[in-house]
Amino acid sequence: MTRINPLSIETAPPASAEILSQVNAKIGMVPNLYGSIAHSPAALSAYLAFSQAIGESSISPALREQLALTTAGLNSCDYCASAHTLMGKGAGVDSDELTQNLSGESSDPKTQAALAFAKAIVDKRGWAEDADLAAVRNAGFTQEEIVEIIAVVSINIFTNYFNHIAEVDIDFPIVRSPANAS
């Protein structure tokens, strides 16, 4: 049961309502996650600014979705597993690969290195070791891309934790994270 109810454009504070209107115009809906964060115009604005900036990063949209799925799987966030599976398909990643990504696995060696680094970030709470960095560098990721992988994981940790606390209703085709699949 939802613990922080999503607001609509009509019920949100004016600053959030303006942002939600822009989201609705851009994607044709206001996801429940955004409506729930909208209780705080500052948090909604910060989240969307971070998302937009990461959307302009040097790593591909597909890899960003794959990283989001790995983070969602590690944090058992079904809302994010559902949303990022849909967005991953939109970014051209096939369904089998997306399912693997949710468990931190990839059939592509370079993507696997990025997902393993994401797993190290989450599992070690940011205390990645020299070997973790060496592995992602050896796979061909630049310093810029490594920083962006950290950023993608970080923003997804925020939404994973927010969804856990708020218990946001999933408004995408439901995908369960591996821990919640049974």
Residue 65 shares a structural domain with residue 118 = yes
Q: What average pLDDT score do residues 133-144 get?
A: 98
Q: Give the CATH number, domain containing residue 78.
A: 1.20.1290.10
**pLDDT-based confidence at 181, cuts 50/70/90?**
confident
Distances (CA, A) of 86 to 33, 69, 94, 150, 156: 15, 10, 10, 22, 15
Residue 46 shares a structural domain with residue 118 = no
Q: Structure pTM?
A: 0.96
- For residue 21, what are the domain limits? 14-55
d(CA 141, CA 96): 24
Q: Give the CATH number, domain containing residue 28.
A: 1.20.5
pLDDT of 173 > 70? The answer is: yes
Residue 51 shares a structural domain with residue 69 = no
**pLDDT-based confidence at 55, cuts 50/70/90?**
very high
What is the tens place of the pLDDT at every residue in 109-128?
A: 999 999 999 999 999 999 99
What is the tens place of the pLDDT at every residue in 17-51?
A: 999 999 999 999 999 999 999 999 999 999 999 99
User: How much is the mean pLDDT over the chain?
Assistant: 97
Measured torsion, CA atoms of residues 124, 33, 61, 21, in degrees rounded to the nearest 10: -150
